[in-house]
Amino acid sequence: MKIVVIGAGIVGSTIAYHLAREGSDITIVDKGKPGSGASNHSFAWINAGPKSPFGYHDLNRRSMEMWEKFVQSLQVDVGLRWGGKVSWEADAARADELLQRTKLLQSWGYPTRIIDRDTLCALVPGLDPGPVAVAEYSQIEGHVEPPRVVEACVARIGALGGQILSDTEVIGIEKGKNGRIDKILTANGDIECDVLVIAAGTDTTGLVNMIGIDLPQQESPGVVVRTDIQNALLTSVPVVYMPPIDQLEQEVHIRQLMDGSFMIGEGSQESLARDDSQDHANTLLDRTVHYFPAIGGTKAIVEPVGYRPMPLDGYPIVGWTGNSSNVYVALTHSGVTLAPLFGQIATMEILDDTNVQFMDGYRPTRTFTLNRYGH
């Protein structure tokens, strides 16, 4: 079966890799370089803790459990690191919110617990948290490096006989006489297909519009800052969320990459951060150094604003489209956490003609309303 996958980010490349492993003839098409879009700007925190309601939380939990086996199949180190995430609050109102959220997660069976200040400092050497009203430790969370995942998937796809067409923009999608999509049109020529998978992040909406489908997205810009290379600091718990120093600021979070540099993010997924100036990068680093004096003197390196895919209602869109029987769509915000699960589900539904029932609430045919808080 000849399958064309549009989008070489972490979701598209993972789906393509799973399909290629089952013997499909795969061509990946991307308007840029593999992994150069939202995947390159992601904080890449693998988690289910902030996800609600329970069904969506459980979807993320399922995928978390698949990451280890997925990475083993790639046969290369992609920066997958476990050990959990810590966060804390000094403000009374925010502390109560954290406490209530932790209790809810515990009622769902999620491995998280309230810890005291001494335990927090023991888990993260070098941390100076200041006053701590409530702190929590979610033990099973971690992070990965999406560009390395994409690179590994692309390499494996190539070894399995697949094609990767970079810098190739799709300018049209053409239906045959039977109403099925039989080719895509690109600036570099036409490509025939038996099945078309569209997993192109923020570009997905425009691509499905070419075949008369409306999958609306909300804008979701985000800012991350990198630093120069430092000694290993986050050797136990790899992800740390730090509260605002004052109430006019947002929280900041930090993780350390394989090369020793740090990645610093700001705010929640709803923060709509757009300031990618050097001054703002320096401010984020200063706020981090406030809690981590050991990285004082580190240089902040600006990253451009990353525009992350976000369906209008905040939840994933996965499955066959309603008006084209051979077009499969995968669009989600939490692509890093969900990539292994989506790779497996897409392969089952495309190659085995299976309907994965627990995904029925996330199909492209559902009705969309704006929701900034569900994801």
CA angle 216, 219, 221 (to 5 degrees): 150
Q: Which of 33-37, 79-83, 321-325, 326-330 shows the lowest mean pLDDT across its residues?
A: 321-325
Q: What is the pLDDT of residue 323?
A: 76
Mean pLDDT of the chain: 93
pLDDT at residue 255, as a whole number = 96
Do the beta carbons of residue 125 and residue 236 sit within 8 Å? yes
Query: Quick check: helix, strand or coil at residue 149?
Result: helix
Residue 252 above 90 pLDDT?
yes
Contact partners, residue 228, CB within 8 Å, separation at least 6: 261, 298, 299, 301
Q: How far apart are CA 140 and CA 143, in angstroms?
A: 10
Question: What is the Cα–Cα distance from 285 to 263, expressed in whole angstroms?
Answer: 10
**What number is the average pLDDT over the span 119-135?**
97
Find tokens 């699960």 and name the residue: 341
Q: For the residues 163-183, what does the mean pLDDT come to?
A: 94
Question: What are the DSSP calls for 261-304, one per residue?
Answer: -EEEEES-TT-------HHHHHHHHHHHHHH-GGGTTPPEEE-P
CA separation, residue 47 to residues 143, 243, 328, 364 (Å): 8, 19, 26, 24
Q: Residue 375: pLDDT band by 50, 70, 90 thresholds? A: very low
pTM comes to 0.95
Does the pLDDT of residue 32 top 50, yes or no?
Answer: yes
Q: Kindly give, in sequence order, each residue whose CB lies less than 8 Å from that of residue 239, ignoring residues fewer than 6 positions away.
A: 45, 47, 84, 85, 86, 141, 142, 143, 253, 254, 255
Taking a C-beta distance cutoff of 8 angstroms, is the pair 237, 292 a contact?
no
The 3-state secondary structure of 67-86 reads: HHHHHHHHCCCCCCEECCEE
| pLDDT, tens digit (0-9, with 9 covering 90-100), for 48-79 | 999 999 999 999 999 999 999 999 999 999 99
Sign of CA dihedral 220, 316, 3, 149: positive
Write down the CATH number for the domain with range 82-140+219-307.
3.30.9.10
Pinpoint the residues of the chain covered by CATH 3.50.50.60: 2-45+146-218+309-362
| pLDDT, tens only, 198-210 | 999 999 999 999 9
Residue 163 · residue 22 · CB < 8 Å:
no
Structure-block tokens of residue 206: 């425009």
On the question of pLDDT at 248 being above 90, the answer is no
Residue 337: closest CA among 50, 26, 30, 100:
50
Q: Of 66, 52, 59, whose CA–CA distance to 357 is shortest? A: 59
Which tokens is 13 given?
């490349």
The two tokens of residue 44 are 């890449």
Query: What is d(CA 32, CA 26) in angstroms, rounded to the nearest whole number?
Result: 18
CATH 3.30.9.10 spans which residues of the chain?
A: 82-140+219-307
Q: What is the pLDDT of residue 246?
A: 85
Backbone CA torsion sign across 109, 102, 52, 80 = negative
Give the CATH number of domain 2-45+146-218+309-362; options: 1.10.150.240, 3.90.850.10, 3.40.640.10, 3.50.50.60: 3.50.50.60
pLDDT at 271: 54
Instruction: Tell the burial category of 349 from Cβ atoms under 10 Å away from its Cβ (0-12, 13-18, 19+).
Output: middle
Residue 246 to residue 76: CA distance in whole angstroms: 42
